[in-house]
Structure 1
């Protein structure tokens, strides 16, 4: 029987990868959920992967299987501390880890961006500062964004919105 004992670790700033690699080298089963985001780099919009929970990662502690103890974990490079309430480390349920992994996979294969409208379709903006306005779908802009044409002052102004902010009108 494989009993899981997932703990939450706080890592040093911007050292999720370093802590993950060091713990895996010691035989630990670690998990640092990643999310694909768009950000500006030198004036250009690029796709980048970042930690979903910056400064934290999960580890499955099984001392009888991998020999990792709390002391080994705390003293690993990049690790700041084991998150705990009082003296007792927080145990993260396996079901939560499975849900995060499922959501991460769904996001990476684009399930969240399916059913996008076609060029010329009328859409409704459901979130953000333009919420409630009607617009015309122009084209996709990367994996998670789209260009829509909003009618402002009798002119169609192109605007980039997240795919989650728009919905095709029936």
Structure 2
């Protein structure tokens, strides 16, 4: 069985994952906790790590079962074929989310277009292309092997 990426309606990731689990489909929607500020209070909320994406694990022949759930739009395609995510990549995401304070990524004087190999953290040994460098040490990297964009902030030590 392979992991596929399902594209959902905006803000439907949790609902779709819940529906798929009820139908007996193995799925994973990685969530991160963020502090959100309202005018009168702050609150910790769980938000999806990947907006509008849910990972599903099923056989090729059963791929159409996900469309029985409301909120599912389509599968994500990569190079003309349904995007397949390796088990190691799902495990890496789970490992990273289970201990977010444990990993640190160091980046120095990168420019847009540079190719880098990440030396530490959950994406260790993955090659990435620098897409954007912002103020305050914010970086946007393209992880070509996974077909996704990683946004990170350099942690000051």
Shorter-chain TM-score tier: 0.5 to 0.7
Question: Which residue does the alignment assign to 1:5?
Answer: 2
For the pair shown, the structure with the greater C-alpha radius of gyration is 1
Question: Which residue does the alignment assign to 1:111?
Answer: 102
Say yes or no: does 1:97 pair with 2:90: yes
Q: 1:112 to 1:49 in 2, by over 3 A?
A: farther
Alignment RMSD (CA, Å): 2.7
SS in structure 1 of the partner of residue 136 of structure 2: coil
Q: Post-superposition, which runs of at least 4 consecutive aligned residues in structure 1 deviate over 6 A?
A: none
Say yes or no: does 1:16 pair with 2:24: no
Structure 2 unmatched runs, 5+: 105-134, 138-153
Shift of 1:90: 0.9
Question: Which residue does the alignment assign to 1:69?
Answer: 62
SS in structure 2 of the partner of residue 128 of structure 1: helix
Say yes or no: does 1:48 pair with 2:41: no
Q: Indicate conservation of the 8 Å contact 2:4/2:57, yes or no.
A: yes
Shift of 1:35: 0.9
Q: Indicate conservation of the 8 Å contact 2:96/2:103, yes or no.
A: no
Shift of 1:85: 3.6
Q: Indicate conservation of the 8 Å contact 2:33/2:45, yes or no.
A: yes
Shift of 1:166: 3.7
SS in structure 1 of the partner of residue 37 of structure 2: strand
1: distance between equivalents of 2:67 and 2:29? 17
Say yes or no: does 1:26 pair with 2:23: yes
Calculate the TM-score normalised by the size of structure 2.
Answer: 0.62
1: distance between equivalents of 2:39 and 2:102? 30
> Number of aligned pairs?
112
SS in structure 2 of the partner of residue 21 of structure 1: helix
Shift of 1:12: 0.6
